[in-house]
Amino acid sequence: MKHITFPFLALSVLAAACSAVPAPEACGPVPSSNQLKVQDMETYAFLHYSLNTYTDAEWGYGNESPEIFNPSNLDARQWARTCRAAGMKGIIFTAKHHCGFCMWPSAYTEFSVRNSPWKNGEGDVVKDLAEACREEGLRFAVYLSPWDRNHAAYGGPEYVEYFRNQLTELLSNYGDMFEVWFDGANGGNGWYGGADTVRRIDKDTYYGWDETYALARSLQKDIIVWGDSRFIADFRWIGNESGFAGEKNWSLLENGRRADMEELGHGLETGDRWVFPEVDVSIRPGWFYHEREDSLVKTLPELMAIYYKSVGRNSTLLLNFPIGRDGLIHPVDSARGAEFAATVAGVFAHNLAEGAKISADNVRGGSRRYAAGKAVDGRPDTYWATDDGVVSANMLMEFDAPTEFNRFVAGEYVALGQRVKDFALEALVDGEWVELNDISGTEDATTTIGRKRIIRFSTVKASALRFSILDSKACPLISNVGVYFSNEKVNL
């Protein structure tokens, strides 16, 4: 009996010891599972394509003829393949831009591909792309412009019904969607069914966002809403279209109040709702294709800088590829996208922290379950945690031999809330502790962490790295730490 009871007893003692260390409680607002899933996609693509592609414009007036939509070579599979090769995990497509032209044969308007010569009016770009995404293993989503410069009733209640009908069509007929994008540009001059006038609306009240968001959520169980209203959506605009988030970046905003530019860029430490930041930027100067921009495709160093300032600053990156007039993504853009993905993968291929000796000056209940090593075990669901009430602590990484590195990555276990307010990095170089800060920073870079924070510094050759959390809303939960060496060129 002994040899059976003993391990049994030992196991129960161990179990009791583990359960004696309570798991940390959530701190403040937390993300929904839909938000977490989109956050974890990190990079996904925007595709801008509409009549503007053929009028060489960025905003159509709404008086264009559907006849001009007749691409010779439209191939949604090429778009999906290109996006996948660029490291994109999903695609958001402009089903309807401000001109009002529908890239699917909507039952509610004549202003759509149904009245275009392309495929004799039998085509459906949204359907083609939804299928291509499924084939390439990408998630799919739509951009539906609330502003419609073609519709005669824009500005009145009838248009809002039309808008919701279109939303229902899109979210019912094309399979699973991960996001719906309700652009913030709203009202102004337009064709409006021939009225050719100026129509102003109150963008907070006109669309009945509460109900419209609820409609979207009721039609798609995994969807997140991107919106720009005081009825706060699930993801927020970052406040610029240049590709950067603030150094300090909270995933929170205050519900019921329109955020100003400062709050969009940095979030709000005291916010009462989880609203993750999304950085939208185009690989070219414009969102739509213009031949004159063929030589202005962003360079690899520019794209890398954007990556560090978006994904590396607790945001997702929504990178736009315009569709060309032939119905394809231009080869320069495709090649640049693939180079970008390969470079990101290369920089973060080898985590030097994995070979280091890892320790911390505080570990929750002294438990192995919350040990510092949990931050380098490659698992997103385990983390280093401190005791409740301990809001400053450090983790030490000691290398076998002096090691060269210039990138540091940290991530919080945000399912239980974003916590860290301030941290510091120091490297032990020739026996001296040297402070490391981001090379691009105009602001203090080592502040918030969130889901992922990347710090870039000039190469150091160090025998140890100290990651100190200086202040946190509650005990910090660090699920990921990485140290890397990269020699890729990055724009500051």
Tokens of 52: 């503007």
CA 412 from chain center: how many Å?
16
Burial letters for 100-126: b for 16+ Cβ neighbours within 10 Å, e otherwise?
Answer: bbbbbbbeebebbbbbbebeeeebbbb
Q: In the set 17, 21, 37, 58, which binds ligand FUL (CB under 6 A)? A: 58
Give the residue from 464, 458, 349 showing the smallest Cα distance to 398. Answer: 464
Kindly state the smallest distance separating residue 436's Cβ from ligand FUL, in Å.
35
Complex with ligand FUL: residue 169 or 280, whichever CB lies closer:
280
CA 178 from chain center: how many Å?
12
| Count, residues near ligand FUL per rule CB under 6 A | 7
Complex with ligand FUL: residue 248 or 298, whichever CB lies closer:
298
Kindly state the smallest distance separating residue 149's Cβ from ligand FUL, in Å.
11
User: Binding pattern to ligand FUL, positions 167-206, x when CB under 6 A?
Assistant: ----------------xxx---------------------
Complex with ligand FUL: residue 184 or 402, whichever CB lies closer:
184
Decide: 73 and 325 in contact? Cβ < 8 Å: no
Decide: 313 and 76 in contact? Cβ < 8 Å: no
Asked if 162 touches ligand FUL (CB under 6 A), the answer is: no
Residue nearest to ligand FUL (CB): 185
Kindly state the smallest distance separating residue 290's Cβ from ligand FUL, in Å.
13
CA-to-CA separations, 91 to 76, 239, 246, 263, 340, in angstroms, rounded:
11, 21, 25, 27, 17
How many CB atoms lie under 10 A from the CB of residue 210?
10
Task: Map tokens 């385990």 to a residue.
Answer: 382
Q: Which letter does DSSP use for residue 323 in this model?
A: B
User: Binding pattern to ligand FUL, positions 277-316, x when CB under 6 A?
Assistant: ---x------x-----------------------------
Kindly state the smallest distance separating residue 184's Cβ from ligand FUL, in Å.
5
Kindly state the smallest distance separating residue 283's Cβ from ligand FUL, in Å.
13
Kindly state the smallest distance separating residue 74's Cβ from ligand FUL, in Å.
20
Complex with ligand FUL: residue 286 or 402, whichever CB lies closer:
286
Asked if 321 touches ligand FUL (CB under 6 A), the answer is: no
Burial (CB count within 10 angstroms: exposed 0-12, middle 13-18, buried 19+), residue 247: buried
Rounded Cα distance between 140 and 142, Å, is 7
Q: Which residues bind ligand FUL (CB under 6 A)?
A: 58-59, 183-185, 280, 287
